[in-house]
Amino acid sequence: MDRKTAKIQGFNIDLLSFKDALNYITDNIINNKGMHIVTVNPEMIELAHKDKFFSEILKNADLVVPDGVGIKIALKLKKIAQEQVPGVDLAKELMVNCAKNGKNIALIGAKEDIIKKAEENLKKDIINLNIIYTHNGYFSEEEESEIINKLAELNPAVALIALGAPKQEIFINKCKEKLKQTVFIGVGGAFDVWAGVVERAPEIYRKLGLEWLYRTIKQPQRFKRIYKTLPLFLFKAIIESVKK
């Protein structure tokens, strides 16, 4: 597929609707075409400005979908209408498609009780879901090598990695060399949602692009992260749109 992208502060964002992203990735899964999908938000762009290694990983990703509303706003400032593609929803729909097409998945990340609960709930929700490997997200470097070797041996069609950014993207980058047929997605706090310990924002918040506000009210510790990055990101987005 020729990528239709727009640049936000030097980084390509793929301009695909949720449905088109889902179909495109599903085709790749069915055809055993490995890829790295990043579900990007403003905090990640800000981090990439400071961290060369992370910046390269972002630039080398095969698909970068706009997860955060801040990215949608930055595109809007450039007069590009783009819907948000929430990673947590995209990953779930991909699992549904994996189950339908006999493709297996691996889940890595979050605390042990969370990943177990998420696995249990997902299996209840999605018939024929074939989860072939899970591991919590708290491991040493030595254990990391073992996990990557195990993944290489199992060769899952999809691996959902929930370590938060940039850990998950760095982990995926390490896996890519050995797992060329696996579709990797960094899914942040998705396992906490599927385990039922973190609620998704109600529909009205999501429609208004205010999921971040809801999550910040529920988890005030997130405020520190957002206020450090979001205003600066939006300021740069305005400057970029004016310059254009």
Applying CB under 6 A, which residues contact ligand UDP? 109-111, 137-138, 162-165, 167, 188-189, 191-192
Q: Spell out the SS3 assignment of 120-188.
A: HHHHHHCCCCEEEEEECCCCCHHHHHHHHHHHHHHCCCEEEEECCCCHHHHHHHHHHCCCCCCEEEECC
- Taking the least distance from each CB to ligand UDP, the nearer of 41 and 103 is 41
Q: How far is the CB of 25 from ligand UDP (least distance, A)?
A: 19
Q: How far is the CB of 85 from ligand UDP (least distance, A)?
A: 14
Alpha carbon of residue 93 to chain centroid: 13
- Taking the least distance from each CB to ligand UDP, the nearer of 103 and 169 is 169
- Taking the least distance from each CB to ligand UDP, the nearer of 57 and 103 is 57
Query: Which residue has the CB atom at the shortest distance from ligand UDP?
Result: 137
- Taking the least distance from each CB to ligand UDP, the nearer of 103 and 108 is 108
Q: How far is the CB of 76 from ligand UDP (least distance, A)?
A: 22
- Taking the least distance from each CB to ligand UDP, the nearer of 103 and 136 is 136
Q: How far is the CB of 180 from ligand UDP (least distance, A)?
A: 25
Q: How far is the CB of 215 from ligand UDP (least distance, A)?
A: 8
Q: Residue 59: how many CA atoms within 13 Å on its side-chain side? A: 11
Q: How far is the CB of 40 from ligand UDP (least distance, A)?
A: 10
Which residue type is seen at 215?
Answer: R
- Taking the least distance from each CB to ligand UDP, the nearer of 103 and 163 is 163
